Structure 1
C-alpha cells in the first residue's frame, strides 16, 4: 500500500506543471491579443476622428451648400462642437463612441446611430452569407485539386485551375456584379438586381462578393494539401491501410486548414470592404450604399461613423480568426513566446 501511494503521489504532480504551462501560455496569448486589439482600436478611433479635420474645406458648408447663409453655417458648427478646441472635440467624440452616440447627420438631421442600426443588419447579412459561401466552395474545391494534382499529377487540371482562379481573383467584385446584373438580370431576367426584399435578391450580390475570396482560399488550400499529403504522418496512415476518406478528411484536411485560417481574417476584411461597391451596384440598403451617398453629400459624421464600424468589424474578425487558429494549433502560441 505504501509503495502504491508513493507511486501515485510521485506521478500526480506531473499534471500540474503541464496544465500550468498551458494556462500561462493562454494568459500571455490573451494579453497579447487584447493589447493588439486595444492598440488598433485606439489608432482607428483617432484616424476616424481626424478624418473630418484633414479633409479640405468646411464639412458644414459642404453639407449645407454654397448658398447657405453664413449665420446658419456658424450656428450648425457651434451645435456640432466644431468650434471647440481639438482636444475637447476628441474627448466628446470618444464619449459619444463609447455611449453609442455618433452625432447627427448633416443632411437628414437624424441621429447617426439610428442610421447605422437601420442599415447595419443588411450589410452584416450579406457579408456573412458571402463569406460562408466562399468557405463552402473553397474547402472542397481546394481539397479535390490538392488530391488530383499531388506528386505532379494532373498537369492539365492544375493549369486550368490555376489560370481560372488567377483570372477570377483579379477581377474586382463590383465588375463581377455588373456582369451578373447584365447577364442574369437584364438579358435573362432570372433574378432581381436591386434591393433585398426577396430571398432570390441575395443570389447575385453574394456571388459577386464570394468569387474572389473563394478562389484565393481554394488555391491556398490546394497548395497546403499537396504539401501535407507528402508528410510522414500521411505516409504512415497510408501504410496502415486507412481508408482514403479518413486520410484526406481526418488527417490531411485539418493540417491544411490551419494555414488557410491565417488569411481568413484578411479575406473577410476585404470582403467587408467590397460590400461598399457591390451594394451600390445592386442598390443594397446597407452601410456600403449609405457611405457612398454620404460622401457625395459631404455628410461627414455619417461617413466617420461607418468607417469606424467597418474598422471595428475587421479588427474583431481578425481577432476571432487568431483565437480559432490558436485553438486548432496551439503551436502558434508557442511560436510567439
Structure 2
C-alpha cells in the first residue's frame, strides 16, 4: 500500500461514521417526536371535558350501560395502565375502537387514508410542476433588473393567491366550475374529474410560494461565476438554466417543498369537507362533532406521524444533495 493510499483511507472511514451519526441523530429525533405525539394524543381524550362514552351512547342511556361500555373500553383502569395498553396497541396496529360505530379505528383509517394521500400527493406534484418552470421563467425574464412590470405583476398575483385560504379557494372553485358552469363534480369521488377542483384548491397557494422561492434562488445562482463561464462557452440557454443553474437553485425549494407537503396533508381537512371527499379530513370533522374521541385520536396520530416522516425524508434528500451539510452537522 502506498503512502498516498494509506493517507486517503481515513477520510473514507470518517465519512462513513458521519453518515452513521447523521442517521442515528435523525432516528433519535424522530423517535422522540413520535413519543411526544403519542403521549399528547393519549392525553387528549382524558383532558377533554365530559364523558366520551356518555356522549356516544346519548343522555338517555342507562348508567349500567355506560358503566359496561367504559369497562369494555378499559376507561376505568388507572391512567398509567391505560397508557401502557395504548402503547402496546400501537405496536400491534391496534388504535382502539370507535365509540360510535364499534369498528376498529385502524380499519376506518385504512379505508380513508388512501383518498387523503392521493389528494396531498397530486397537489404536491402539481405545485412543483407549476412552481419550478414558472419561477425559472420569471427569473430569466427579470434577470438584471429588467421587465419591472412583469416582476411586479408576478409578485402581486402570486402573493394574493398565496394569501387565499385553501377552503375559501375551494368554495370559489366549487361554485364557479361545479355549480355555475357544471364542468366538474363538486362532491365525492366520482372519477378522475373529481380530483381536479380539490387538487387545484390545495396546490394553488403552495405553487405560488414555491414559484417565488425558485425565482429568488435562480436569480442568485445566475450571478455565480460558473454560470457566467457556461454562458461564455456559448452553451444554449436551456442548458445553462437546466444543467447548471436549476440543480443549484432547488435546495431551498426542496426544503420549503417538504414543509409545504406536510402542510398539504393537514390542509386536506378543510378542503375534503368542502368537496365531501371520502378521506381522513372529512372523517375527523364528523368524529369531532360526534365526540368519537378514539377515532379522532387515531387520525391525529396519523396526521402527526405523516408530518414527521415527511420532514425526515426532506432531511435525508437534502443531505444526499449536499453531503457537506452532514459534515458540518457532525
Q: Which moved more, 1:97-106 or 1:291-300?
A: 97-106
TM-score (norm 1): 0.95
Residue of structure 2 equivalent to 1:200: 193
1:90 paired to 2:83? yes
Query: Unaligned stretches of 5+ in structure 2?
Result: none
CA-CA distance at 1:11 after TM superposition: 2.7
CA-CA distance at 1:57 after TM superposition: 1.2
Residue of structure 2 equivalent to 1:334: 327
Please give the per-residue CA displacement for 1:198-256, whole angstroms capped at 9, x wherever unaligned. Answer: 11111101101111111111111111001111112212222222221221111111111
Written as runs of structure 1 = structure 2, the 5 A alignment for 1:140-289 is 140-289=133-282
Partner-residue secondary structure (3-state), 1:196: coil
Q: Which moved more, 1:15-24 or 1:160-169?
A: 15-24
Residue of structure 1 equivalent to 2:303: 310
Distance 2:111 2:192 in 1: 19
1:131 paired to 2:160? no
Partner-residue secondary structure (3-state), 1:266: helix
CA-CA distance at 1:68 after TM superposition: 1.7
CA-CA distance at 1:335 after TM superposition: 2.8
Stretches (4+) displaced over 4 A = none
Q: How many residues align?
A: 330
Written as runs of structure 1 = structure 2, the 5 A alignment for 1:8-19 is 9-19=2-12
Of 283, 296, 302, which aligns to 2:289? Answer: 296
Please give the per-residue CA displacement for 1:49-87, whole angstroms capped at 9, x wherever unaligned. Answer: 011011111111122222221111111111111111111
Q: Which moved more, 1:132-141 or 1:326-335?
A: 326-335
Please report the RMSD computed on the Cα atoms of aligned residues, expressed in angstroms: 1.2
CA-CA distance at 1:134 after TM superposition: 0.8
TM-score (norm 2): 0.97
Residue of structure 2 equivalent to 1:5: none
Query: Unaligned stretches of 5+ in structure 1?
Result: 1-7
Distance 1:14 1:171 in 2: 58
